[in-house]
Amino acid sequence: MPASASLFIKTFRSISYNSIQFYLGIDSLTNVSGALGGELDPTHGMYWTWQSGYINFKMEGQVSRRKEPLKEFQIHLGGYQQPFYSLQEVQLNVHDENINLELNLDPFLQSLDFSNVHHIMSPSKKAVELSEILAKNFKVKKND
């Protein structure tokens, strides 16, 4: 896993647009469609193994609170079935052609309770809440 990731998306010059829309995660039909290839190949590590389903978002690392020793944490968000369906739709208005899309992780990290929970690794209510927070924190910035 890279420490920071940038994804470039090219668009056609001749097409003008004023909004973009995408999904954060994998929809439920794709989740029940068996083995898939390319970016969806489970060798990429974005698939749960003990329970079927794609991992929509992964963040792993170490935290230290108030000079306590470093502790590993693993946050894997996913879930394709109600009541823990965690796929999020993101829709943003854009005013420029050359833009950066930024995900502000601060509200997400603030909502994690690192004093008690270091692992979220299966579909749950908390995983849905965290996915919603992520989806709300994308921002369109002008690229200069």
Nearest one of 101, 97, 112 to 135, comparing CA atoms: 101
- Minimum Å gap between C-beta 23 and another protein is 19
Question: Exactly one of 5, 15, 29, 35 binds another protein (CB under 8 A); which one?
Answer: 35
Question: Exactly one of 1, 7, 18, 34 binds another protein (CB under 8 A); which one?
Answer: 34
Q: Binding to another protein (CB under 8 A): which residues in 95-134? A: 124
φ/ψ region of 115 (left if φ > 0, alpha if ψ in -120 to 50, else beta) reads alpha
- Consecutive H or E run containing 130: helix 125-136
- Minimum Å gap between C-beta 117 and another protein is 16
DSSP code, position 40: G
Residues in contact with another protein by the rule CB under 8 A: 31-37, 41-45, 47, 49-53, 84, 124
